[in-house]
Structure 1
Amino acid sequence: MPIKQSGKRLRVPWRKKPDENDLPVTLPVFMAYCAVARSLRSWNRIGTKPIVTLATTDDFYFPVFAEAARFFASQIWEPQRFHGNVLEWTDKNFRHEAEALRDERAILFASPSYEIKDDDRLLSDAVVPLEPRTVRHAEAALRRAGLPITRESIELLLTEPWSRLSRAFQDRRDPLQAIQRLRSLPIPLPVREPERHRPPPATGPTLSDMHGFGGLIEWGYDLAKDIADFRAGIIQWRDVDNGVLISGPPGVGKTMFASALANSCAVPLIYGSASRWQEAGALDEHLKALRASFVEAREKAPSILFIDEIDVLGNRGETDRNSAYMRALITAVLQLLDGFERREGVVVLGACNHPDLLDSAMKRPGRLDRHIAVPLPDAASRRSILKFHSGVTMCSADFEMFDLATEGLTGADIERLVREAKRAARRQSQSLNSDLIVSHLPPVIKLPEAYMHSLAVHEAGHAVVSFEVGHSKVSAIKISRYQIQGETRELGYVEYDSSAPQRRTRSFYESAIATCLGGIAAELEVFGSFSDGAAGAGAADLNRATDLATALEGSLGMGHTLMVGSSEQGEFSNLRLYLPELRRQVHDILEEQLSRARSIISQQRPAMDALVDRLLDAAELAGDEVREIISRHRRSAVSLAKPPRRAGM
């Protein structure tokens, strides 16, 4: 039988012995040839007609690898059919494509700075990574040149730049002499990356420095991870949450958050503002300024485009004399956010004070489809904001005054407070400290012990009654030791955990009313009267209890009749005013539940007194401690807390 030959040549080039027909190649060219042959192993057959792109790394020098690729073609492919189509991809590849298609064979190198396009992949039969030089390549090159294989020679061939190897090893020069010349020269320093290519170091705050932003911080960390994954090629841009609307009162720190987000994501921040765009002039100039911000963001992508005061744009439903102007502007923004002009690599962060004024089309999916509201900072957040701006850590006593005096303030207000304290420190030639910060707070007075005792009795009464009627779990209880001079504000409160769903029957509402009246009941039992703080304001205890009783009898169908009425809380006062029978029924419910609450306080007086003592000592108790104190001191009793059964329960 005839012997069928596979047509393969030797796949491992360093095992092939040189013969007199081999092309003259230098030692570095042969080492590069080993890397090329290893990468093109699948095409190491006579008669194949491939067009292959080799994707290179930083360890690449085209003159050496081009000569190595030609040597590979002369050894493997038919030389008469190959005209030397060893090329490097550039932005102008028309000649490369024509020559590759004409000869049906080509080896194309893509340098690290060249981005391989879809058209390049269509032309190429394969895009293969170019293998880096290895120890085996260096050993094969030394063996072919007849040089001793030593560790120093291998290290030299693996660490010297290709350009230096190419200049040292020449056809006219003995390889041993080339190695000696390289060893006689100083080791080259690594080429430093140009400064313009390096991302600028992050200046200013990061997300870890931001406090009081709630779920916005978590979203920011998720975005930073998504952008990192996008850069690494793990996800595509459409998987990145790239449009969010944040809203909140002025001064909560929306602009600072944008800066911190950009620093945490390690991307540039482009600032845009509806009012700043409008300063450009007429509509044409206005639109140019708007588009310029988006163009800048795309050029620096991945980036964050922060649009402040985006609610100034309004919506397209307005019909005033400027409506045509604003409709054109809003339409342009919508087109840039989505439409035909895609914004790959650009995260748009819109900020506003009044999100309800924004055109609904801006909040549809694909644009600013996520809305996160930024609340005023709570006490813990205000403390963190103070520490960030001042670097001062207050003691617990100062923190209590600080929490009270800064309630309702924004991050900008606290920053201004610190700035004024720093100015005073400079004037007095001393360092910033806790006393200086406290001195710039609104005037705060310490409450008398007797007044604090009445506060503790009132709040403890709420907690004990709530525990006994089983209305809701207490999650926290607090009283204040200080009051801002000249201001009337809540000085104590009880927080309830209402996360567990409950059936809202008549007994549920009666227990809620009893809990509201628990503070009054405690004051009546201890002092014989209750103070005006339990009534008057809309959220006062007696006001809330009265509205609950009105709803029970007048709008929920759970009273003396199944008939329902208005459920608007603002209408309850009118119902009581014009319906004397309803007013009498509401009075009866309040009297009954107050009596119920007083019975509970009278029976559980030891538990309430223990809770008062602990509250006067600590000023703030967690729900677990409150329940532990009540459970430890409460008395077992026949259910005085259970209301008599009535129709409609």
Structure 2
Amino acid sequence: MAREHVTLPVYMAYCAIAGALRPWNRKGSRAIVTLEVQDDYYTPLYAQAARVFAAEVWRPNEWEDPHVFEWSDKSGRDEVQAEKSQRAIFLSPPEYRLTEENRLFSDAVIPMGPRTRRHAEAALRRAMLPVDESTIDLLMSESWSRLSKAFQDRRGPLQALERLRRTSVPIAKGVELQTTESIGPTLAEMHGIGPAVEWGNNLAKDLADYRAGVIGWKDVDGGVLISGPPGGGKTMFAGALANTCQVPIILGSVSRWQEAGALDEHLKAMRKSFAEAKSRAPSILFIDEIDTVGNRTESDRNRGYFRGVIAALLELLDGFERREGVVVIGACNYPQLVDPAIRRPGRLDRHLEFAPPSAQSRLAILDFHSGLDLDGDQAEKFEFATDGFSGAEIERLVRDAKRVARRRSETLSADHIVEQLPSVTALPEDLLHCIAVHEAGHALVGFEIGHGQIADIRISGFRIDGSRRELGFVEFERAGPRRRIKTTYLDAIAVNLAGAAAETEVFGSFTDASSGASMGDLNRATDLATAVEGGLGMGHTLVVERVEQEQLARMRLYNHELRNQVHQLLDNEFERARSIIRAQRPALNALSERLLEKRTVPGEEVVQILQRHRRVTVSLAKPPLRMGA
């Protein structure tokens, strides 16, 4: 099965198709067969499985593309192509009634049953995953659409299963979420979603004014696109927004619309969601997975289908009067895949991004789900171990902790929470000292050369076993627009090298923590130096090359003169950073000691420490001028 990538759900559908087509399961078969599918059906997935069967079992070397079609009232052209090749598979969806002409054209019409547990077992074995009842139950209970979305080429089957397990089915269609019923949180209880809360509170005020007749619908923000990683709280935000606004919320999931069947049924389901929202206005219509609706610039075998869907969606979104009283929230994981016309002014023209929650937000989310307030080492362990966790992952962690407490007949406590965290090991004092010196070096050199205002500096006293994660960092506030000249890049290189320079100055050498990963200090410094010498015309020559990330290493590999120039630049900036640290060693020591004591030092205190212990020296802020031809 090489021509088509076969994901786990595709293989499940393939098993059903191969079983139905057993009489033609041999090379060289010539037949035009109709598969009459039942309610358990999803067009894109079954079509892909049928193409796999046609391409890999029939071996159609004389034709370019396996002919797989779906019967409809306009299948005349498909029949011509099928007759020409003498091999084709027609899928008859549940809502389509085969005509006598369809049956006469087909060599056989074979009813297909729904998926079976044997199909799920076979797919799990092929993916080399454990075959257990809970996993089979999951594969049997999830819709084909959700299975298809979870199992993608770019992710492994185990990762896909985990995503399915932690992603619960969102708000049921037509369910009202109102604050008066206290179902779910309000925006006041949402944490870690940034500007979305402010936008939601403004919307609540505008809707109240609209209902009171103070403002018209044109003054209400009637559409927004929200994006973020799975489990990032998009669905919960929609429910909390409805609670805060005290309006009903209606689900209009793209995958559920697709499950309705062929294009006509798909469009009917979509229009029904908008009509329901309109009938209950003012209301919120939450459209999940809007990035999967397609893009009119795509060109594939399904482009006609998806263009029809997008055109109908644009028509429903158009105009405030047409959907007066309905606030449309489109949620997605990949906003760049959303058709630009959907984001046009008057439709979903505002975009709110949900970033992973900060450490403080994660503690607040934990408090909301568990009622527990961690402090001291427990809070530090939780913040470190849950770095990158979504709100849904923290909720699952609390659920697991509550289960453990119930099994032991104990009251839920912080110990149960910590017990569910990934395995965390306390760092030895000598390693912690090294990390503190490293991060203090970054901050000191950045301060001395005016690289930017320091927001904060922090180190962790723990590490997650088996994980290579940053154990400390210095955060510089983003600078506004400015001229970016050669000195700008040299300063950035010096700051990146300052951690290793500080370690070298204090301990005589630096550790491998400065390199290896793509975002390692030495890696970033090397790429910046390559860009200066070979990509920006700021080195020995004005001749430039492409400066895309993937080209930088290739430039160094095949251009030895460039590699030597990069080496010389890095060496100069490393020595520059060491000179600054050597001259300001008391400030470095004071800052690293404070870091060991507090683990997190805010930017204002960092500056105070560096100013208090700073020695007056000849300025080292300017890099040495290098004379050359």
- Report the TM-score, using the length of structure 2 for normalisation: 0.69
Give, in angstroms, the shift of residue 581 of structure 1.
Answer: 1.7
Query: What is the total number of aligned residue pairs between the two structures?
Result: 453
Which 4+ stretches in 1 moved above 4 angstroms?
Answer: none
Distance in 1, Cα, partners of 2:627 & 2:203: 57
Structure 2 residue 443 is the aligned partner of structure 1 residue 463: yes
Residues 559, 648 of structure 1: 8 Å contact kept? no
Please tell me the residue identity of whatever aligns with 1:420: D
Distance in 1, Cα, partners of 2:179 & 2:358: 35
Residues 445, 495 of structure 2: 8 Å contact kept? yes
Pair 286,503 (structure 1): closer, same or farther in 2 beyond 3 Å: closer
DSSP-derived class of the 1:537 partner: coil
Give, in angstroms, the shift of residue 375 of structure 1.
Answer: 1.4
Pair 517,316 (structure 1): closer, same or farther in 2 beyond 3 Å: closer
Residues 496, 524 of structure 2: 8 Å contact kept? yes
Residues 449, 620 of structure 2: 8 Å contact kept? no
Q: What is the match of residue 330 of structure 2? A: 350
Distance in 2, Cα, partners of 1:544 & 1:321: 42
Q: 1:436 aligns with which of 409, 416, 425?
A: 416
Q: 2:580 aligns with which of 594, 600, 604?
A: 600
Residues 532, 539 of structure 2: 8 Å contact kept? yes
Pair 340,596 (structure 1): closer, same or farther in 2 beyond 3 Å: closer
Q: What is the match of residue 380 of structure 2? A: 400
Q: 2:489 aligns with which of 509, 518, 526?
A: 509
Distance in 2, Cα, partners of 1:646 & 1:277: 65
DSSP-derived class of the 1:349 partner: strand
Give, in angstroms, the shift of residue 319 of structure 1.
Answer: 3.9
DSSP-derived class of the 1:342 partner: coil
**Quick check: 605-614 or 333-342, which moved more?**
333-342
Please tell me the residue identity of whatever aligns with 1:478: R
Residues 244, 350 of structure 1: 8 Å contact kept? yes
Give, in angstroms, the shift of residue 223 of structure 1.
Answer: 0.7
Structure 2 residue 264 is the aligned partner of structure 1 residue 256: no
Distance in 2, Cα, partners of 1:440 & 1:223: 38
CA RMSD in angstroms, aligned pairs only: 2.1
Distance in 1, Cα, partners of 2:345 & 2:409: 56
Give, in angstroms, the shift of residue 501 of structure 1.
Answer: 4.0
Structure 2 residue 612 is the aligned partner of structure 1 residue 632: yes
Pair 593,210 (structure 1): closer, same or farther in 2 beyond 3 Å: same
Pair 615,228 (structure 1): closer, same or farther in 2 beyond 3 Å: same
Q: What is the match of residue 273 of structure 2? A: 293
Distance in 1, Cα, partners of 2:391 & 2:412: 19
Please tell me the residue identity of whatever aligns with 1:555: G
Please tell me the residue identity of whatever aligns with 1:514: A
Give, in angstroms, the shift of residue 257 of structure 1.
Answer: 0.6
Residues 269, 304 of structure 1: 8 Å contact kept? yes
Q: What is the match of residue 64 of structure 1? A: none
DSSP-derived class of the 1:517 partner: helix
Distance in 2, Cα, partners of 1:318 & 1:636: 62
Give, in angstroms, the shift of residue 340 of structure 1.
Answer: 10
Q: What is the match of residue 308 of structure 1? A: 288
1:203-602 aligned at under 5 Å gives the runs: 203-338=183-318, 342-602=322-582
Residues 217, 320 of structure 2: 8 Å contact kept? no
**Quick check: 520-529 or 571-580, which moved more?**
571-580
Distance in 2, Cα, partners of 1:392 & 1:552: 51
**Quick check: 617-626 or 347-356, which moved more?**
347-356
Distance in 2, Cα, partners of 1:373 & 1:289: 28
Pair 638,316 (structure 1): closer, same or farther in 2 beyond 3 Å: closer
Give, in angstroms, the shift of residue 300 of structure 1.
Answer: 0.9
Distance in 2, Cα, partners of 1:213 & 1:369: 19
**Quick check: 273-282 or 530-539, which moved more?**
273-282
The one-character-per-residue Cα deviations of 1:542-579 (angstroms, maximum 9, x if unpaired) are: 11111222222212222222222222232121222222
Distance in 1, Cα, partners of 2:244 & 2:529: 52
Pair 236,496 (structure 1): closer, same or farther in 2 beyond 3 Å: same
Distance in 2, Cα, partners of 1:527 & 1:246: 48
Q: Structure 2 regions of 5+ residues with no counterpart? A: 1-175
- Give the percent of matched residue pairs that are identical in Structure 1 and Structure 2: 60
Pair 204,324 (structure 1): closer, same or farther in 2 beyond 3 Å: same
The one-character-per-residue Cα deviations of 1:63-102 (angstroms, maximum 9, x if unpaired) are: xxxxxxxxxxxxxxxxxxxxxxxxxxxxxxxxxxxxxxxx
Residues 335, 341 of structure 1: 8 Å contact kept? no
Give, in angstroms, the shift of residue 393 of structure 1.
Answer: 0.6
Residues 376, 409 of structure 1: 8 Å contact kept? yes
DSSP-derived class of the 1:267 partner: coil
Larger Rg: 1
Distance in 2, Cα, partners of 1:227 & 1:505: 49
The one-character-per-residue Cα deviations of 1:87-136 (angstroms, maximum 9, x if unpaired) are: xxxxxxxxxxxxxxxxxxxxxxxxxxxxxxxxxxxxxxxxxxxxxxxxxx
The one-character-per-residue Cα deviations of 1:427-448 (angstroms, maximum 9, x if unpaired) are: 1112111000000111100000
Residues 179, 244 of structure 2: 8 Å contact kept? no
DSSP-derived class of the 1:217 partner: helix
Please tell me the residue identity of whatever aligns with 2:483: R
Please tell me the residue identity of whatever aligns with 1:226: D
The one-character-per-residue Cα deviations of 1:142-166 (angstroms, maximum 9, x if unpaired) are: xxxxxxxxxxxxxxxxxxxxxxxxx
Distance in 2, Cα, partners of 1:495 & 1:213: 20
DSSP-derived class of the 1:245 partner: strand
Give, in angstroms, the shift of residue 282 of structure 1.
Answer: 3.4
Give, in angstroms, the shift of residue 634 of structure 1.
Answer: 1.3
Distance in 1, Cα, partners of 2:377 & 2:384: 11
Q: Structure 1 regions of 5+ residues with no counterpart? A: 1-195
Residues 453, 476 of structure 2: 8 Å contact kept? yes
